[in-house]
Amino acid sequence: MSIQYISDKKLFLLNTKNTSYQFRVAEFGFLEHLYYGRKIPDSADYLPVRLRHGFEANPYEAEKDRTISLDVLEQEYPGFGVSDFKTAAVRVQNGDGSDCIDLRYVSHKIYEGKYAIEGMPSLRENNGDWTTLEVLMRDSSSQIEVTLVYGVLGKYDVITRCARIYNVGNKNVFVQRAHSVCVAFPTDKLDAISFYGSWGHERNMERMPVRHGKYTIDSTRGISSHYYNPSMILCSQDATEEQGDCYGIALVYSGNFAMTVEVNDFKQTRIVAGVNPDTFCWRLAPKEHFCTPEAVMTYSYEGFTAMSHNFHRTIKYHLIPKQFIGKRCPVLINNWEATMIDFDEEQLMAIAEKAKTLGVEMFVMDDGWFGRRTDEYRGLGDWQCNWQKIPSGIAGLSKRIHSLGMKFGIWIEPEMVNEDSELYEEHPDWCIRIPGRNPTRQRYQLVLDFTRDEVIDNIYNQLYEEFKDAEIDYIKWDMNRSMTERFSTALPAERQGEVCHRYVLGFYKLMQRLTDAFPRVRLEGCCGGGGRFDMGVLYYAPQIWCSDDTDAIERIPIQYGTSFIYPPFTMGSHVSECPNQQTGRVVSIDTRAALAYFGTFGYELDPNRLTDEEQEAVCRQIDYYCRYGEVSAQGCYYRLTNPQTEKEYAAFLSVAEDQTKAVLCFIQQVSGANKGIIYLKLRGLLENENYEILELGMTCSGAALMYAGLPMPQIKADNEARVYTLCVMQE
C-alpha cells in the first residue's frame, strides 16, 4: 500500500514510485511535516531538532519546555492566532468573535481508491493505483474540525490534497481562509517559478530565488486569470530541464486563488495554496462543512521535464473526460478572424465548402449566431438562433455542414449578459452587481449570477432546447470579462463573501449538466483566450484556447510556459490570418503550422482568400497532422530551448510514448550572416534504435541524436520553421 501509518512512531508514510512524503503526530497532537522529496526507505522522524529560540511562544501544555514553538515546528496544516506567525492554511471567526484555530490530531483512516469532492472537479480514479488518507483534526475550544485528505497516485508520482472544514459546534462560524495545501521545506535555498502575463501574453515563466518575507501570486478577477496561472514550482537553485529537485503544485480550480511562498529567519520555506482569502468569507452554520478545491503536487529529482511529464500524464489519464483520452481534436476551421460577428449562413457555408476541399474536418461557427447579436453590445443571454442570419437554424446549418462530410461546432458565452437582451430586460437582478451602484462594464457585458440555481437553469434550458435537435460535435465555451462589484441579491449581507466561490461552483454545475446532456460533444474552454487555463476547466473540456494572440512567434513563449504544467494536446493552437490581427507580423504559413502542430491544430482564417500556394500548404499540413498529430500533440514533450534566454532560435520535441516516432520543431527567429552551425541534442529517444529523419533522408541512432546532436539548417530569413519527423527503422 502506498500509504502507511507506523503506530509506534505516530508516523504517516506516503510513497509513490519515486517520491516519499512524511509527517507525524508530534507533541500534544500537533501534526508535523517531516519530509517531501526523493524516495527513502526509512523514517525521517529524526529530522526535527528541538531548540530554544528567543522571543518564540510555546504551547500551554509545554509548561516550562521552551523548545517547542509552532513558529518553528512545521505544521502540516497550520491554523491562525496560536503562535505560528507564518501564513496560515486556515483561519476562522468563531461564534464568540475570536479568530484562533488550534488544530490537534484526533484520528485517521486509510483506504484504497480515490476520494471525490462534491460539486467540484478533481482528479479521476480511472482504474489508477490510488490510495486515500483522511486525517481528522479538531480545535476543542471552537468546535471546528478539519479533515485533511490526501490522495496518492503512485505511478505518476502525484499526491493530491484538499481539506474539509466542519462546524461541530452550535454557533455560526465564518471561514476566512481555506487553503488546500501547505508544504514546508527545511531550506531557503530554493527558486520559485510562476507563470505571469496578461491578455495575449499568458503564462510567461518567471524564475526567482525565494526571499525572506512573502511572495504571492493570485487572482481576484473571479477567474484564474491571464495574469497568473494557479500553479507554481519550487526547485533547487541548480535545477534544469534534466536535473535538480522540482516540486510542482497546481490547483484544480477556476476562480480566485492565492499561492504564497514564505521564508523565515530559521531557513524554513513554506508554500500554501488555495482559495484567495481576499475575496472569501464562508458562513458555516452548525453541522455544515466547507471543502477546499483540490491541489495536485508532484516531485522530480530529474529536473523540469520529468516533473512536467508527471503532470501531463496525470492530466491525460486522470483529469480530462475519459471519452477523449488519446483522441485528437478534428482539424477545424473557425470563422472568427474571417468574419467576426458580421456574417450570414451562406458566407459560413462558403468557408466550410472551401475548407472541406483542403481537408479540414470540422467547421466551427463563432460569436454572432444568436438573439439580437449584430455587434458586441447586444444579445448575450439570449441563446436562440438569429433566423435572419441563419435561415436554416442551428439544426439545419449543422445538417448542411455534416452533409459536406464535416463535423460542426458552435461558440457560446453562457456566463455573460448584455443589457440589450431579452434576458436582462426580464431579469435585471440576475447579474452580479451592487444595487444602487453603477456596474463596471467590460466588453459592454455583465456577469450572470451563477450563485443562483434559477439562472443556471435558465441558461441550461436555453442551450439544451437550441442544441438538442442539432448535430453538434464541439462547443467553444468563452468568457470575456473579469468579475467586479461582487454581490448577489440572492444572498444575505453576511454571505456576500461567498459570491466568488459560489459562482465557480455554479460554473462547474452548468458545465457538468451540459456535458452530461451531450457526452459526445467535445468542449473547448476559453476565457478571452487563455484567461481560465486551469485543471478545473480541463475536467470538463479536454482542451482550452491557449491565447487570443495567434501570432506564431508570440506563441513560442506562451506555449513554452504553458507546457510546464499542461500537455500540448490541451492547448488550442491554430493557423491564423496574416498579417496577424493582433501584432501585424507577417509569418509564413508553414511557420504558423509548425507551432500549431503542438496543440489542437486548426485554422482561423478565410480559406477563400488563400493563394494557390497557401492552399497547397494547408492540404500538406492537414495531411501531416492527421498522420503525426498523435505524436506532436499527444507525445512526451521536451523543451529544448528557453525562449527567455535563447533569442536566436527555438526548438521543442514530442516523442511517442513507445519512443518509435518523434516530431521536432526548429524555428530560426533571427537570421544573420556568416553564422555557425546549431547542433540540437534531442531527448527521449531509444539509444540503440536507428531513426530515419524523413525530411532529411538520413538515418541516425537515438544515441547519436541525443548525445552528438542534429545539425540545423542555415535559413536566410527570420521566423522560419522546420519540422522533422523521426521514425524507428523497421527491420
Tens digit of each residue's pLDDT (9 = 90 or more) over 385-424: 999 999 999 999 999 999 999 999 999 999 999 999 999 9
**CA–CA gap between residue 406 and residue 484 (Å, rounded):** 41
List b or e across 637-673, with b for residues whose CB sees 16 or more CB atoms inside 10 angstroms: bbbbbebeeeeebbbbbbbbeebbbbbbbbbbbeeee
Give the residue numbers marked as catalytic: 534, 614
Taking the C-alpha atoms of residue 335 and residue 352, their distance in angstroms, rounded to an integer, is 9
pLDDT of amino acid 30: 97
**Mean pLDDT calculated for residue range 564-574:** 98
Residue that is written with C-alpha cell 492554511 in the block: 89
User: What is the percentage of the chain residues whose pLDDT exceeds 70?
Assistant: 100
Strand partners, 270: 184, 262
Q: Once rounded to an integer, what is the mean pLDDT over residues 62-72? A: 91
Number of neighbouring beta carbons within 10 Å of residue 388: 9
Q: Kindly provide the b/e burial profile for residues 155-169, where b requires at least 16 CB atoms within 10 angstroms of the residue's own CB.
A: ebbbbbbbbbbbbbb
**CATH code for residues 639-728:** 2.60.40.1180
Share of the chain above pLDDT 90, in %: 97
The pLDDT assigned to 401 comes to: 98
Is residue 117 a contact partner of residue 162, using CB atoms and an 8 Å limit? Answer: yes
On average, the pLDDT of the chain sits at 97
Cα–Cα distance for residue pair 723/355, rounded to 1 Å: 23
DSSP string covering 684-704: S--TTSEEEETTTTEEEEHHI
Single out the residue of 312, 331, 332, 325 nearest to residue 248, CA to CA: 312
3-319: CATH architecture? Distorted Sandwich (2.70)
Residue with cell 526571499: 211
Query: pLDDT class for 229, splitting at 50, 70, 90?
Result: very high
731: pLDDT strictly greater than 80: no
pLDDT at 657 over 80: yes
pLDDT, position 128:
83
Q: How confident is the model at residue 20 (pLDDT cuts 50, 70, 90)?
A: very high
Q: Kindly report, residue by residue over 178-217, the tens digit of the pLDDT.
A: 999 999 999 999 999 999 999 999 999 999 999 999 999 9
pLDDT in tens, 534-563: 999 999 999 999 999 999 999 999 999 999
Mean pLDDT score, 620-648: 97
Pick the closest to residue 360 from 723, 610, 635 (CA basis): 610
Grid cell in block for residue 332: 477545424
Q: What is the pLDDT of residue 607?
A: 97
d(CA 621, CA 626) in angstroms, rounded, equals 9
Can you tell me the distance from the alpha carbon of 601 to that of 626, in angstroms, rounded to the nearest whole number?
10
CB 603 within 8 A of CB 334: yes
pLDDT of 434: 97
The grid cell for 505 is 461552483
Q: Is the pLDDT of residue 77 over 90?
A: yes
- Residue 622 CA: distances (Å) to CA of 11, 521, 594, 616: 56, 22, 11, 10
pLDDT score, position 261:
98
| pLDDT at residue 275 is higher than 80 | yes
Pair 544, 560: CB distance under 8 Å: no
Position 730 scores a pLDDT of 84
**pTM exceeding 0.85:** yes
Burial label for 454, CB within 10 Å (0-12, 13-18, 19+), is exposed
* pLDDT of res. 723: 98
Alpha helices (runs of H) in 293-379, residue ranges in sequence order: 303-318, 336-339, 345-358
Q: Are 408 and 473 in contact (CB under 8 A)?
A: yes
Domain with CATH 2.70.98.60 in the chain: 3-319
Residue type, 42: D
Instruction: Inform me whether the pLDDT recorded for 127 exceeds 90.
Output: no
Q: Whose grid coordinates read 446549418?
A: 397
Q: What is the average per-residue pLDDT within 724-730?
A: 95
Q: What are the residues whose beta carbons fall under 8 Å from the beta carbon of 50, sequence distance 6 or more? A: 67, 68
Question: HSE of 116 in the Cβ direction (CA atoms, 13 Å)?
Answer: 9
> What's residue 92's pLDDT?
96
Residues 452 and 460: beta-carbon distance below 8 Å? no
* From 140-144, 175-179, 488-492, 696-700, the region with the lowest mean pLDDT: 140-144
CATH 2.60.40.1180 domain extents, the chain: 639-728
Parallel, antiparallel or unpaired: strands 332-334 and 362-365? parallel
DSSP 600-653: S-EEES-GGGS-HHHHHHHHHHHHHHHHHHHHHTTSEEEE---TTT--SEEEEE
Indicate whether 142 pLDDT > 90.
no
83 versus 573: the higher-pLDDT residue is 573
Residue in the block written with cell 526523493: 38
Q: Contact at 8 Å (CB) between 615 and 607? A: yes
Residues 485-527 pLDDT 10s: 999 999 999 999 999 999 999 999 999 999 999 999 999 999 9
Over 80: is that where the pLDDT of 1 sits?
no
C-alpha distances in Å from residue 525, one per residue of 69, 322, 480: 46, 17, 12
